[in-house]
Structure 1
Amino acid sequence: MNASVQVHGELPVHTEIPRMREEPRFCDSLDLVALPTAVSVARMFVADTLRRWHALFIEEHMEVVAVEMVSLAVAATGPSEATSWSALTELSPIRLQLLGYQRHIVFEVTDTHTEALELAGEAPPDSGLGLVTTLASRWGSAITPRGRVNWAELDVYERTEAGLPRRASTPSPKPPAVTGGSLPEHDYDFLQRVHNGLGRL
């Protein structure tokens, strides 16, 4: 299970975290309101964006992370479940943002809550934050000028135990076997002609 990271500060999240100081190569965002319908919209937003970015490897995991993080934002800043539509007088905005970097993609949810998320102890693996902790390489929460930003970072590639990207191997054609430790006759003749030509220069 990956360890979570809590970040608190006054700067936008992606400038505070050392591995995210590089400029994103891709960026897409969506403004919603903190209602339960935002959860399904977030899933569609993530799926559509990652398909356009050709990041299908993490689509399934990022959708799960997005659903859990948007659910947290709606629970913290949206109306209570008992509130009827006719009784709604004010809606809180939330912003979803995907940031594409060379080796990872970050999902952010900005809401109007005034306290950063805190993870006390180990969250159950099947709980909201437990799923985020399991699937994300890092996650955190920060209070910024934009509001509270909860974020999660997923690697674009699978990682080895040493942390290096694991890419699908593409075996090269097997070279012809050379027996006896000597070059084939046609190779020897070719190299001899090259050598003689160089000697005449």
Structure 2
Amino acid sequence: MAGQQGASEQPQRVTVPAAGWPPTAVDDLAATSLDLLGNPSVDEVRLSSRPESAATARRLARSVLRLWGLPQFDDVVELLVSELVGNAVRHTGARTFGLRMLRRRGWIRVEVRDPSRALPCLMPVREMDVSGRGLFLIDKLADRWGVDLLPRGKTTWFEMRVIDR
């Protein structure tokens, strides 16, 4: 019947186990994100400077990690991407920001570029603080991080060591 979908017509979602999956098996939402927005490992992806863009950036990062065969880094990279994006959205006043991911022997690097030249500041964190933990988390969980000032803006980045096979 027109307008009704039977059980066999429902879209199929690929479920990928946490370990041992082939690098070509990327879930539908992640693949759609790369198709629609671009692949941040190929070229910088521009996103709107809105809180909901953090979810998009996390999906893109997870997709790239799976393409690279590094799903074991999903959770930490997603958290740290959220923190970088959150800082770009909250503190820069920009309309957009850029996400880029790079891989070189032994390392992955995630970059968020925005038009503000204001430097992020790693503040001491106390137990009862309800905000201001973003750079603290990046400092503790990434192997290294930093900020590169550009003629117009900055790139805030973190890197994680990976074991190449």
Tell whether 2:145 aligns with 1:130: no
Q: How does 1:1-201 map to 2 (within 5 A)?
A: 27-78=42-93, 92-120=95-123, 122-123=124-125, 127-145=133-151, 147-157=153-163
- AA aligned to 2:65 is L
Task: Return the TM-score normalized by structure 2.
Answer: 0.65
Q: Is the 8 A contact 2:84 2:112 kept in 1?
A: yes
CA shift in 2, pair 1:107/1:48, >3 Å:
same
What SS does the corresponding residue of 1:140 show, helix, strand or coil?
A: strand
User: Structure 2 unaligned runs (5+)?
Assistant: 1-40
Higher relative contact order (CA 8 A, sep 6+): 1
CA shift in 2, pair 1:123/1:101, >3 Å:
farther
Q: Is the 8 A contact 1:33 1:92 kept in 2?
A: yes
Please identify the structure whose Cα radius of gyration is greater.
1
Q: Is the 8 A contact 2:83 2:134 kept in 1?
A: yes
Q: How many Å separate the matches in 2 of 1:117 and 1:31?
A: 20
Aligned residues: CA RMSD: 2.3
Task: Return the TM-score normalized by structure 1.
Answer: 0.54
Q: Is the 8 A contact 2:142 2:159 kept in 1?
A: yes
Between the aligned residues of both structures, percent identity stands at 31
- AA aligned to 1:48 is S
Q: Is the 8 A contact 2:116 2:152 kept in 1?
A: no
Report how far residue 123 of structure 1 moved: 3.9
User: Structure 1 unaligned runs (5+)?
Assistant: 1-25, 79-90, 158-164, 168-201
Partner of 1:85: none
Q: Is the 8 A contact 1:27 1:100 kept in 2?
A: no
